[in-house]
């Protein structure tokens, strides 16, 4: 699973439990965990599952409750808000976020990192209804994370949500089916005009960067090469500072639109290469 999940999981543990829980947790997992977890790397699923069991043991909070709280935290915490901004700034309600996650998760699965995010199926009564049915069938069976993430989606937009679990893989059904009803709360969480303009400007800049990147066949470009290309196009130096380029590349990466060599042996930020990820799947052998 992608490192972002692992990094936010440890952030959740340190914010949720005071004192020495994170240290005890790390001591317990020992060598199973790398010393520094990186959001851009991919780690084995088993590390998370062992980690959740260890955290449950240390805190006496049941595994399913930890997973649900984590799902909620994953959507509402600052790091996801920052790294997933490309996706998050395009939606304006909990329901829209859920509906966007089929395509957004699917796009992440087109990166060469081998991610397998859940591809939800939905049915909705009509376009404007606040209700939807979501079908979840990931082999990881992380229904509690899903429920928490739906609650987090509502919280993010100041909404209430009711979730009815109609079928569940953990009770032997082939898929989990949730009926979900969002309702607007009196407390509106609106962006100021300045925030919205800032997000739009970042979005446009990221789209421009994406248009300049080579596709896979080109072997990618480094940050320095990208900066040079932009300078040759006459873009002012202050607009193409490495920090700004890196931010745009990260936002595109967490939307599954830019692939990197972050998971290659010997990778570092100086030599990391970036290219445009495909936006459609190759034809399946059966259709050829």
Site residues, ligand HEM (CB under 6 A): 1-2, 4-5, 75, 84, 87-88, 97-98, 101, 105, 108, 115-118, 138, 140, 142, 145-146, 149-150, 153, 254
Identify which of residues 27 and 103 has a Cβ nearer to ligand HEM in the complex: 103
Cα Rg, the chain, nearest whole Å = 20
DSSP designation for 80: H
Q: State how far the Cα of 100 lies from the Cα of 117, in Å rounded to an integer.
A: 13
Identify which of residues 240 and 274 has a Cβ nearer to ligand HEM in the complex: 274
Q: Is 167 helix (H, G, I), strand (E, B) or coil?
A: strand
Nearest distance in Å: CB 243, ligand HEM: 20
Nearest distance in Å: CB 59, ligand HEM: 21
Residue among 135, 161, 139 at smallest CA distance from 150? 161
Contact of 107 with 114, CB cutoff 8 Å: no
Nearest distance in Å: CB 149, ligand HEM: 4
Identify which of residues 89 and 261 has a Cβ nearer to ligand HEM in the complex: 89
Q: State how far the Cα of 283 lies from the Cα of 285, in Å rounded to an integer.
A: 6
Identify which of residues 59 and 263 has a Cβ nearer to ligand HEM in the complex: 263
Identify which of residues 96 and 267 has a Cβ nearer to ligand HEM in the complex: 96
Q: How many CB atoms lie within 10 A of CB 237?
A: 9
Nearest distance in Å: CB 146, ligand HEM: 4
Identify which of residues 61 and 115 has a Cβ nearer to ligand HEM in the complex: 115
How many Å separate Cα 193 from the centre of its chain?
26
The continuous run of DSSP H or E covering 123 comes out as strand 121-123
Nearest distance in Å: CB 232, ligand HEM: 32
Residue among 242, 270, 2 at smallest CA distance from 111? 2
Identify which of residues 58 and 91 has a Cβ nearer to ligand HEM in the complex: 91
Nearest distance in Å: CB 147, ligand HEM: 9
Nearest distance in Å: CB 181, ligand HEM: 15
CB-based contacts of 29, cutoff 8 Å, min separation 6: 47, 50, 51, 54
Place of tokens 């969002």: 182
Query: β-strand 258-260 against 274-276: which pairing, if any?
Result: antiparallel
């Amino acid at each position: 699973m992608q490192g972002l999940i692992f990094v936010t999981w440890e952030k959740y543990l340190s914010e949720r439990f005071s004192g020495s829980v994170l240290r005890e947790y790390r001591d317990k997992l020992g060598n199973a965990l790398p010393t520094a977890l990186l959001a851009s790397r991919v780690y084995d699923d088993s590390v998370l599952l062992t980690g959740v069991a260890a955290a449950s043991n240390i805190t006496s909070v049941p595994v399913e409750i930890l997973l649900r709280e984590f799902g909620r935290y994953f959507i509402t915490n600052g790091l996801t808000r920052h790294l997933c901004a490309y996706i998050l700034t395009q939606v304006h309600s909990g329901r829209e976020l859920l509906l966007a996650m089929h395509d957004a998760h699917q796009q992440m699965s087109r990166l060469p990192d081998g991610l397998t995010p859940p591809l939800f199926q939905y049915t909705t009564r009509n376009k404007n209804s606040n209700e939807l049915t979501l079908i979840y069938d990931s082999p990881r069976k992380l229904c509690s994370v899903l429920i928490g993430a739906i609650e987090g989606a509502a919280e993010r937009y100041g909404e209430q949500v009711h979730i009815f679990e109609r079928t569940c893989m953990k009770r032997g059904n082939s898929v989990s089916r949730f009926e979900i009803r969002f309702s607007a709360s009196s407390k509106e969480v609106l962006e100021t005009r300045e925030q919205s303009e800032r997000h739009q400007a970042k979005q446009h800049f990221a789209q421009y960067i994406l248009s300049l990147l080579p596709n896979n066949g080109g072997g990618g470009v480094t940050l320095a090469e990208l900066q040079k290309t932009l300078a040759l196009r006459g873009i002012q130096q202050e607009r193409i500072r490495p920090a700004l380029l890196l931010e745009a590349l990260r936002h595109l990466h967490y939307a599954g639109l830019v692939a990197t060599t972050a998971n290659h042996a010997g990778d570092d930020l100086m030599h990391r290469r970036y290219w445009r990820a495909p936006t459609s799947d190759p034809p399946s052998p059966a259709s050829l």
